[in-house]
Amino acid sequence: MLLQTSRMKIKARKDSGPKPKPMEYKPMLNDIIILVMGPSGVGKSTFINYLAGEDVVQVGHDLRSCTTQLQPIVVNPPPSILFRDRRLVLVDTPGFDDTFAAESEILNRIASWLAHVYSTDTKLGGLIYLYDISLPRMKGTTLRNLEVFKKLCGDRALRSVVLGTTKWAELASSSVGEQRVKELCDKYWLEMIECGSIVHNFGDTQQSAWDMVDSVLAYDVVIPVIGVTGVGKSLHEVVVGDDLQPCTDKVQPVIIDPILVNSRRASYHGRRVIVVDTPGFDSTFGDDSATLQKIVENLAARYGPDIKIGGIIHPHDVNRRPHHDFHNYLDKICELFIEPRMLILGTTMWGASDDARRVERERKLDSLTNHYWSKLIQDGAKVCRFTGSQDSAWMMVKAILDDRDHLHRTEVLQIQEELVGAKKLLPDTEAGQQLRHSLDQLLKTLKSKHSTDSLSIEMLNPAQIAGIRAQIKALHIPLSQRVLRFFDTGVDRIVSGLSQKNLHRKEAVLVSRSKNK
């Protein structure tokens, strides 16, 4: 069904509280910042107004863009554990094809703002990149915009990007839009989707806008099941409800159907839940260090070196006494991946038995909780019973999903690391180099006598060519500036080295004096 744009004025939500604040934004440590990016006229300001529930930024209705500077808008989110004690900040950004500024200048404005925010130790929650689905094809300026955007983010941060399509109401039929989305996903957005970006259609409603924000903040909840061999049926089989082939010699992830998660009334928030079956630690503990290393390396290879584990489920046979060495491995696992409070200690092998055996197992459980696991429990680990049923398995998964402080992650964009961490100049960043390359190619196309590109014919005039040349020049660093930059960096290193040497000398003097005393 074709999405229709509401002609009624956007009404503020009853729970919206104070009006959103577009001016005088000062970053706070717990802010959840989402950049809204895309070409001019795609509907970035309109999207933010729908999200806020009222008109907080000016919307352009002609060929001129209204957003010329980055505008942070503090939006009051609906009651949700996602936003507990946190502010949501939407940043309206100018498009690279802005009518009042060159692409190089727009990149400089965005990069400067991102560098400033990063220097205050404030991280981004994610990015929303909007695309006008009513356009029959990807224009040259839009394609340049997209390529620079990818370089600005870097591959790692693309997992926190939502690719949103707008202006569905301007299509003759929804099937036309669906075909264009397929083309985008198969060609222009394929690389981003493979890195974790999500595609979402914006339906010109407040709910649709909030669904996109939820998708930005969502992330895969990876839950490894780690324990010794022989503790019972593979947990992922019971959670999923299928007879999957148990595999104890390699890491085997199983993505759980979202419908199944929601049916359990867990705090899902649009995230994928991945239960990971891992190789079992040998009961003889002959080579557990190799097993642990194998698990760590495999998880890092699948989900990246900076993987954020949602929690760990440790199944343990209630009838067995934990081996002392394995207790150390549990501490090591928590140190590598999670806080102890995200560790679920699941007792297994309860079975159906008479009263005497049940009492004996309860006594052994008390021994586990009061002796072997006491420190982990004090640090927040939870004890659950896995009785072989799907309900008992879900109790452990739900305990992880319901944790309030593990519901979203933060991102550092590649350009932030380059500008602040590596102290690069903007033209030396990946985004700067990409924009310079794109403009170089555009200039060659415009100068080509054999060009049949409609864009070339349209733009073939001296003023526009001069403008492109000026941008290319702005993205080149003069030799004199490079030399000064080199010496500045060298001096910084020398000063840092001398400071370290002086510090070591002072420590040596203090040690010598203490010995003489």
Q: What is the pLDDT of residues 73-94, one digit of tens each?
A: 988 777 665 666 678 899 999 8
Percent of the residues in the chain that have a pLDDT greater than 90, as a whole number: 18
Q: CA 444, 449, 450: angle at the middle one, nearest 5?
A: 95
At residue 502 the predicted structure's pLDDT band, cuts being 50, 70 and 90, is low
Q: How many CB atoms lie within 10 A of CB 198?
A: 18
Query: Which residue segments constitute the domains of the chain, with CATH numbers given?
Result: 32-218+410-426 (3.40.50.300), 221-406 (3.40.50.300), 436-496 (no CATH)
At residue 478 the predicted structure's pLDDT band, cuts being 50, 70 and 90, is low
pLDDT for position 133: 95
Rounded Cα distance between 329 and 333, Å, is: 6
pLDDT for position 167: 95
pLDDT for position 16: 41
Chain length of the chain: 517
pLDDT for position 21: 44
Residue 511 has pLDDT above 70, yes or no: no
Q: Characterize the bridge pairing of strands 88-92 and 71-75.
A: antiparallel
Closest CA to 132 of 164, 93, 158, 103: 164
Rounded Cα distance between 18 and 414, Å, is: 35
Q: What is the pLDDT of residues 276-314, one digit of tens each?
A: 888 777 645 456 677 777 777 777 777 665 566 778 888
At residue 40 the predicted structure's pLDDT band, cuts being 50, 70 and 90, is confident
Q: What is the pLDDT of residues 419-449, one digit of tens each?
A: 998 889 888 899 989 988 888 888 887 766 5
What does the DSSP assignment read for 295-318? Answer: HHHHHHHHH-TT--B--EEEEEET
